[in-house]
Structure 1
Amino acid sequence: MAEQMRVASISREQTLATNKLIRNTYTLLSITLLFSAAMAAFAMTANIPPLNIFIVLGGYFGLLFLTNALRNSIWGLAGVFALTGFMGFTLGPILNLYIQALANGSQLVMMALGGTGVIFLGLSGYALSTRKDFSFMRGFLFAGILVAFIAALAAYFFSMPGLALAVSAMFMLLMCGLILYQTSEMVNGGETNYIMATITLYVAIYNLFTSLLHLLMAFFGED
């Protein structure tokens, strides 16, 4: 009986810890998405030109490394807002280019935004409700993201639009998998740090949105 009570107590504590992790993650994610959107709106209003790709990559990986190093301290929150704010700021000029270049650019941006929201909520809801373990996807996602990133650089530097579209489609699939994986990790105890969980989900949403937007612009954009 004592052993059963101890096991039940441990299980209850684990459930409470998981619920707290999920609550903190989605609260922080919601706030950072709003902050990122505000920074994008600021960049659009100020007509900031597109940033150099080396500045974007350097800022992203630098802030990501900093946030990871500070993930167990209060300064980790500052890193989260610095990273998501920076990514939102870099997105603003891209949105301006699409909106100004295409007659239906604004509509396609809203479609991409709505589609991203539906996909994220659907995949997160599935992982949370089924509590299925998607940890088996870890290696595939790591390899796939690395390959897609290298292919994206090749498409950019060698001006290969066909490869760029393929990369966008690849990133969409990979980010869907990353959402399932990260949500599953929170539910099943593989991830216990809400700062890193937030960053992973934010990056997945950001890349999902930009990839979906690129595909919509390519196939449904009106000059």
Structure 2
Amino acid sequence: MALEQSIVSGSLNPAAVKVLRNTYTLLSLTLVFSAAMCAVAMAVNAPYMGLWMLIPYIGCLWMVEKNKNSTAGLFWVFALTGWMGFTLGPIINFYLSTSGPQLILTALGGTALIFFACSSYVLVTKKELSFMGGFLMTGMIIAFIAAIANVFLQIQGLSLVLSCIFLLIASGVIMWQTSAIIHGGERNYISATVTLYLMLYNIFVSLLHLIGMRDD
């Protein structure tokens, strides 16, 4: 795995290596669990939940933050990522029925490529990117609010722009979070895992939207 090779061959301090390894291990497990929950949602033909999905999402996210320094935090990480995977089921079913599996595979490949490119860049160059934190968080909040508003406005052009913005911001957050780990700004692998997972989720959904619109 390219990321592991970068960690081993690099000159990172032991604490950073430990956090990275724990983060990538937990992230891998949550992605597998999320995919399983997505498959369950697809199998039972679960309906698209729209904004209602935010209620369990916010609740689980709050519990993760509250318990991130204890083993209970692991339970809530899987609760959060399992729920997010379940909400993907109806979305993937829609694109499978309208565009076929090629779109899904392309979005998955693009998500993996973006993640490895962003993470590897920071691990190899060891860039210190803490200055990006405020800008990225502000941009994410604004884009999130705009996305909620567009659920009611239904402006297709705005939807396209927001997908591009989410894609760019999520890529930036992956680099920022990786930099925070290797430079000591993040020592909690539960928090790091959740951040990276949510960015992967945003990238995947944004790519689905963008590629789907292109095909249409």
Match of 1:49, SS state, is coil
Please point out which of 125, 132, 136 is paired with 1:130. Answer: 125
Q: Which one has a bigger Cα radius of gyration?
A: 1
Letter in structure 1 aligned against 2:111 = T
| Preserved contact between residue 137 and residue 181 of structure 1 (Cα < 8 Å) | yes
Equivalence for 1:40? 38
**Equivalences for residues 178-197 of structure 1 within 5 A:** 178-197=173-192
Aligned-residue Cα RMSD (Å) equals: 1.2
Letter in structure 2 aligned against 1:18 = A
Please point out which of 87, 93, 116 is paired with 1:96. Answer: 93
Q: How far 1:105 moved relative to its partner?
A: 2.9
In 2, the alpha carbon distance for the partners of 1:188 and 1:52 equals 38
Equivalence for 1:82? 79
Please point out which of 147, 150, 156 is paired with 1:155. Answer: 150
Please point out which of 138, 143, 159 is paired with 1:143. Answer: 138
In 2, the alpha carbon distance for the partners of 1:133 and 1:74 equals 30
Note the alpha carbon deviations across 1:148-194, whole angstroms, 9 max, x for none. Answer: 01110111111111111110000000001000000000010000000
Letter in structure 2 aligned against 1:24 = N
Runs of 4+ in 1 over 4 A off after TM superposition: none
Q: How far 1:80 moved relative to its partner?
A: 0.4
Equivalence for 1:7? none
Tell me, which stretches of 5 or more residues in structure 1 are unaligned? 1-11
1:177 aligns with 2:175: no
| Preserved contact between residue 24 and residue 194 of structure 1 (Cα < 8 Å) | yes
| Preserved contact between residue 105 and residue 217 of structure 1 (Cα < 8 Å) | no
After the TM superposition, which of the residue ranges 73-82 and 43-52 deviates more from structure 2? 43-52
Q: How far 1:119 moved relative to its partner?
A: 0.7
Please point out which of 207, 211, 214 is paired with 1:216. Answer: 211
Q: How far 1:209 moved relative to its partner?
A: 0.5
Letter in structure 2 aligned against 1:198 = T
1:164 aligns with 2:159: yes
Normalising by structure 2, we get a TM-score of 0.93
Letter in structure 1 aligned against 2:164 = A
In 1, the alpha carbon distance for the partners of 2:149 and 2:96 equals 25
Q: How far 1:211 moved relative to its partner?
A: 0.4
Q: How far 1:214 moved relative to its partner?
A: 0.3
Letter in structure 1 aligned against 2:38 = A
Letter in structure 1 aligned against 2:114 = I
Percentage identity across aligned positions? 51
In 1, the alpha carbon distance for the partners of 2:60 and 2:77 equals 8
1:119 aligns with 2:114: yes
Please point out which of 60, 63, 66 is paired with 1:66. Answer: 63
In 1, the alpha carbon distance for the partners of 2:215 and 2:169 equals 23
Equivalence for 1:108? 103
